[in-house]
């Protein structure tokens, strides 16, 4: 199954996996360090790491609150997360992402379980989700919006996270979507981790990074 999956993913990436991503790794659990322990929580980490695969569990370490364990559904998704997030800026600090020495996160009250979460992005449209994997960008793509939403409402919802340079509300395949460009990747990342899966005018919105150069 893993080989077939690697082929699906390679196809999504245009025929070859990103450099350094083997597609044969079987370690699923990551250790994420240098986190902003005042602001981070499992859900925010979920919102970011779920761009690269389905999340099984996340545990912020009580004795080292600037460290967290993130268990991905498989080793390839774990490799993608390391590849794209190493050195990314999150809430004012530069992320370190490495493989953990633990093969999995033991179920426990302080380990958040996302294995059955309908917020996992790779439950459907798998090839499309792999195609959308990228390092954080300045432009976020927002979908699952209410059809009547106004651009102002979106900007108000996201404005606290940074300087919005440009935005665009549009309809694609009958669904209302938006692109919002921030001044920096870090601001866009903060908006994504804080507002993916948040409620806006009755809809649970979805946010991912856009690979467009400008709007």
CATH code assigned at 119? 3.30.70.330
pLDDT, tens digit only, all 215 positions of the chain: 455 666 777 777 777 788 888 888 889 999 999 999 999 999 999 999 999 999 999 999 999 999 999 999 999 999 999 999 999 999 999 999 999 999 999 999 999 999 999 999 998 888 788 888 999 999 999 999 999 999 999 999 999 999 999 999 999 989 999 999 999 999 999 999 999 999 999 999 999 999 998 88
Residue 162, CA atoms < 13 Å, CB-side half-sphere:
24
Same domain for 27 and 123: yes
Q: Write down the residue that tokens 């699906």 correspond to.
A: 8
Same domain for 108 and 31: yes
Q: Which domain holds residue 19?
A: 1-131
Q: Which of 131, 154, 185 is the last residue of a domain?
A: 131
Q: Which of 82, 115, 131 is the last residue of a domain?
A: 131
Residue 67 lies in a domain: yes
Same domain for 127 and 180: no
């Amino acid at each position: 199954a893993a080989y077939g999956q690697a082929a699906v993913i390679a196809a999504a990436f245009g025929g070859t996996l990103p450099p350094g991503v083997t597609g044969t790794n079987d370690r699923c659990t990551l250790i994420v360090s240098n986190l902003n322990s005042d602001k981070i929580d499992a859900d925010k980490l979920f919102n970011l790491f779920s761009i690269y695969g389905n999340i099984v569990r996340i545990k912020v370490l009580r004795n080292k609150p600037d460290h967290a364990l993130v268990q991905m559904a498989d080793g390839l998704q774990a490799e993608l997360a390391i590849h794209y997030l190493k050195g990314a800026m999150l809430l004012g600090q530069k992320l370190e992402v490495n493989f953990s020495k633990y093969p999995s996160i033991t179920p426990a009250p302080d380990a958040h379980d996302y294995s059955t979460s309908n917020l996992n992005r790779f439950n459907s449209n798998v090839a499309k989700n792999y195609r959308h994997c990228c390092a954080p960008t300045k432009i976020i793509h927002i979908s699952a919006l209410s059809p009547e939403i106004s651009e102002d409402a979106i900007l108000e919802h996201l404005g606290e996270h940074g300087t919005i340079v440009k935005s665009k509300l549009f309809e694609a395949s009958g669904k209302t979507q938006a692109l919002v460009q921030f001044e920096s990747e870090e601001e866009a990342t903060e908006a994504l981790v804080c507002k993916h899966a948040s409620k806006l005018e009755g809809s649970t919105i979805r946010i991912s990074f856009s690979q467009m150069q400008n709007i």
